[in-house]
Amino acid sequence: MANEYDVLIIGAGPGGYVTAIRSAQLGLKTAIVEREHLGGICLNWGCIPTKALLRSAEIFDYMKHGKDYGLICENPSFDPAAVVKRSRAVSGRLNGGVGHLLKKNKVDVIWGEARLSAPGKISVEKASKQAMEPQHPVPKNVLGKGTYSAKHIIVATGARPRVLPGLEPDGKLIWTYFEAMVPPSMPKTLLVVGSGAIGIEFASFYNSMGSDVTVVEIVDQILPVEDAEISAIARKQLERHGLKIKTGAKVSKLDKSADSLTATIELSGGKTETLNVDRVISAVGVVGNIENLGLEELGIKTDRGCIVADGFGRTNVPGVYAIGDVSGPPMLAHKAEHEGVICVEKIAGLDPHPLQKNLIPGCTYCHPQVASVGLTQEAAKQAGHDIKVGRFPFLGNGKAIALGEDQGLIKTVFDAKTGQLLGAHMVGAEVTELIQGYVVAMTLETTEQDLMHTVFPHPTLSEMMHESVLDAYGRVIHM
Amino acid sequence: MPTPILMPALSPTMEKGKLSKWLVKEGDEVRSGDVIAEIETDKATMEVEAVDEGLVGKIMVPEGTDDVPVNETIAVLLGDGEDASAIAETPPAAPVIAASAPPAQERPSAPAAGNGAAAQPLPAPAPTSPPQSAPATPAGERIFASPLARRIAAQNSIELSVISGSGPHGRIVKRDVEAAIAGGTAAAPRVEPTAPPAAPAPAISDEAVLKLFEEGSYEIVPHDSMRKVIAKRLTQAKSTIPHFYLSADCELDELLALRVKLNGNAPKGADGKPAYKISVNDFVIKALAVALQRVPDANVTWTEEGMLVHKTSDVGVAVAIPGGLITPVVREAHSKGLSVIANEMKDFAARARERKLLPHEYQGGTTAVSNLGMFGINNFSAVINPPHATILAVGAGQKRPVVLDDEISIRTIMTVTLSTDHRAVDGALGAELLGAFKNCIEEPAMMLV
């Protein structure tokens, strides 16, 4: 039958579409349902368009500091509309690319909103959610409303911004990442609530583009999942660039006026202060999209807004799987992709291993960049490891100095007994491109010896990765 | 398949020796127990007995050859209907060996100069011979393991070769080593006395020992993990288990006759080879298992809390491998046919040498057999291997004069010695068990019913 598949995937975000392609590679008849945009939040309203915005900000920063490099760039300025337009164009190009990849792999695309109607069956209706504009065009030759069946149904519906009471986004004064991605104009003053990756990236962007930005974070460090030392260095750098940061603080009240807001902020000492801003970005985390999927009717277990799934994406109901953000943290595109591949390989009868969550790196693209994998120094201690810690500052690296990027740190955490690399934490220029070296090392289970024996090319920032390992064992050269 | 006869190790430390004399020539028929050659080391000269029967197909190492490495194939025995050409076609099979039989390494040897007519030339010897001490997997086979897995294994004295990898392409990764540590392995079997005895202090310190020898007059060979485990476990066994010993002579003639008959009637498998070849040791395993069923009070394990009275007879069989020994367990041996036991042991012995046995295959058991008969040992006493309550040390079957009906006659006699844990099995009970065993050996047909 035409509407019968081996594997049906709900949601064409980075988890869903990669799963679909892998499924097709494995010879399974595959379809994917999407209600809004191929590539999901990541590619349309998240990872990718923010990187385009941040690239504009980065080049603008260079222009402002051209003099430092002997270059003359007088009164640099920018066109906000053109910056946003470029970001949308980058997103649009990749959105079209996903459609092409699905077609090439003979994955059927079903346009609409899916609901699990019975075991092995979904019904697809017109999307109830209003799509965020501007939206890329619907791909050609998609299937539409109707009933579809599959032996295996993978829920990959992703997540959406968390809404806190009193901070409800209104699309005008209180933004989420959707509105922050396409600002009609640059706010003069901006309050960012939440200092996770999303909050800090937007804060960094708007700060570079000239806004007066204040970040409020409820815990006592920014980027709460990162190593405390790295977080502190990032904070210092961001503050040096003009960002205002309040940690251990929370926004208790927002009073809206016609085109501005007054925020009441409870500070760590118990004092409160008020702040007038043009706009607020709410970046207080994301929650799984588990509604209107028919999960309750099928008795699929959920926990704190996410579907409960095992290491192979299997829910408590046979034939129904969940991967990516909707199956729980860390809510990262690359985690979703790997979970999806593992899930569908298990379905196909291969013998994959569950994803080791300690091997999932995280990157934040503020200026300076932050990247990490594995256990922080504190977490390693708490896990009972006797640890060795290596540190190497950008100040000691020739390439960093040549780049004019001499602020930053590369930190490594080893188990003293076995030499296992437990974690690596970086702050500074280009570290998001460096971290995978350590991820490979950890995935292959190298010890400090293998890393010491690895030749890192000179002159590169990566040499600091070598030095950090040497430092952990008292053998650092350039310090 | 042709069976290789390997250069035996006359002592645990022997690495090579001189093949001083062949007592058989190509084409001779030999039976199990026949003396076929003499081997000489700097310490002793020993006779080599055939472990199997067959035709001497080819003598690979001419007599008078010095420095023949242990486990080198010195001759090849042909089975029924096999001719010498089979030698060139098939790699030598791993022979079924009983306890302490020399391990085999499957590797072709140089043909003897001027050897017999029809045979095709044998493959040239491998350019480098694998070092005898090596290890774990057959020579040339690399163990794929992550650096971290290697280090954790080394820190915990776990042999990588006993671990099967779950990483990409079977690579051994950290979780595999951790699972091996958690589950216990060859290197670190768990002995569980309720109150662990304090580690006995060494009789003399290393330093004191070294002082007794002139520096430079010796070499220090570091212990591998298997050596450490053997030392630890057997020290513990011998110092915590009150051993006593019972010996008996068993007449083998009927068993040998039955064995010839059973092996002679073995059906041919699809490949034209007999489906089984039962050794004397296989009979011993079966007999001990049946005896334990007849004397169930002796099929026990001592624990502080109470006596474990086992329902099945699981018989460990000591198999010598390069660098030590390992004791795979024939489970429920009382209910298995001799051919099943024979084939199981053949598989165990082969995989033991490659250190490929899985923990569940060598852990546990209720008793054990250690057979040094093929080395010409008449009788000896073995150390009990916990959690067993007994171990049977088996000597060589030899023709001896015996007095029957006041006449001296010749019988094939095998002396066995049962080591017994007195906490679990008292003297009379041990005697009863040994009596039942002797009865099974001397009336082997009764084991079949």
Domain ranges of chain B: 3-182, 228-448
Is the pLDDT confidence value at A247 over 90?
yes
Residues 6 or more apart from B200 whose CB is under 8 A from it? B235, B239
Q: Do A445 and B148 touch (CB under 8 A)?
A: yes
Q: What is the dihedral of CA A265, A271, A276, A277, to 10 degrees?
A: -40
- B169: annotated active-site residue: no
**A445 contacts in B (CB within 8 Å)?**
146-149, 173-174
Q: Do A420 and B173 touch (CB under 8 A)?
A: no
Write down the pLDDT at residue A165.
93
Q: Do B151 and A446 touch (CB under 8 A)?
A: no
Nearest CA in chain A to B170: A351
- Lowest-confidence segment of A64-73, A237-246, B213-222, B299-308 by average pLDDT: B213-222
Identical fold at B3-182 and B228-448? no
User: What average pLDDT does this structure show over A179-186?
Assistant: 94
Angle between helices A431-443 and A463-472 (to 10 degrees): 50
Cβ of B265: how many Cβ atoms within 10 Å? Answer: 8
Considering only CB atoms, A446 lies closest to which of B147, B152, B166, namely B147
Q: Do B174 and A420 touch (CB under 8 A)?
A: yes
Nearest CA in chain B to A444: B146
Looking at B169, B223, B334, B422, which residue is catalytic? Answer: B422
Beta bridge partners, B367, equal B315, B390
Using a 10 angstrom Cβ sphere, with 0-12 exposed, 13-18 middle and 19 or more buried, the burial of residue A240 is exposed
Q: What is the rounded CA–CA span in Å between residue B213 and residue B217?
A: 7
- Using an 8 Å Cβ cutoff, are A112 and A145 in contact? yes
pLDDT per residue of chain B (449 residues) written in tens, 0 to 9: 677 788 877 665 667 778 888 888 888 888 877 788 888 765 566 777 777 778 888 888 888 888 888 778 888 888 776 766 655 544 444 443 333 333 333 333 333 333 433 333 333 333 333 333 333 444 457 889 999 999 999 998 888 888 888 888 889 999 999 988 887 654 443 333 334 444 445 567 788 888 888 888 888 888 877 787 788 888 888 888 999 999 999 999 999 999 999 898 888 877 788 888 999 999 999 999 999 999 999 999 998 888 999 999 999 999 988 888 889 999 999 999 999 999 999 999 988 888 778 878 888 899 999 999 888 899 999 999 988 999 999 999 999 999 988 999 999 999 999 999 999 999 999 999 999 999 999 998 888 76
Q: What CATH class does B3-182 carry? A: mainly beta
**A418 contacts in B (CB within 8 Å)?**
148, 151-152, 155
**A449 contacts in B (CB within 8 Å)?**
147
- Lowest-confidence segment of A162-166, A236-240, A346-350, B197-201 by average pLDDT: B197-201
Give the closest-approach CA distance of B229 to chain A in angstroms.
Answer: 22
ipTM over 0.95: no
- Using an 8 Å Cβ cutoff, are B25 and B59 in contact? yes
Q: What is the pLDDT of residues A443-460, one digit of tens each?
A: 999 999 999 999 999 999
Give the closest-approach CA distance of A203 to chain B in angstroms.
Answer: 41
Write down the pLDDT at residue B186.
43
Write down the pLDDT at residue B57.
83
**SS3 breakdown of chain B: % helix, strand, coil, rounded to 5?**
30, 25, 50
**B155 contacts in A (CB within 8 Å)?**
417-418
**Interface residue B211 vs chain A (CB under 8 A):** no
- Using an 8 Å Cβ cutoff, are A156 and A340 in contact? yes
Is the pLDDT confidence value at A86 over 80?
yes
Looking at A65, A100, A353, A458, which residue is catalytic? Answer: A458
Nearest CA in chain B to A445: B148
Write down the pLDDT at residue B170.
85
Considering only CB atoms, A418 lies closest to which of B152, B166, B173, namely B152
CATH of B228-448, one of 3.40.605.10, 3.30.559.10, 3.40.50.200, 3.60.21.10: 3.30.559.10
Write down the pLDDT at residue A132.
80
**B153 contacts in A (CB within 8 Å)?**
none
**Interface residue B239 vs chain A (CB under 8 A):** no
Q: Do A445 and B146 touch (CB under 8 A)?
A: yes
Write down the pLDDT at residue B159.
84
User: What average pLDDT does this structure show over A308-313?
Assistant: 96
Tokens of A244: 């205002």
Q: Place A211 in a pLDDT band, splitting at 50, 70 and 90.
A: very high
Residue B275 in 3-state DSSP?
coil
**B146 contacts in A (CB within 8 Å)?**
444-446
Q: What are phi and psi of A441, to 5 degrees?
A: -60, -45
Answer whether 0.80 is exceeded by the pTM: no
Q: What is the rounded CA–CA span in Å between residue A289 and residue A291?
A: 6
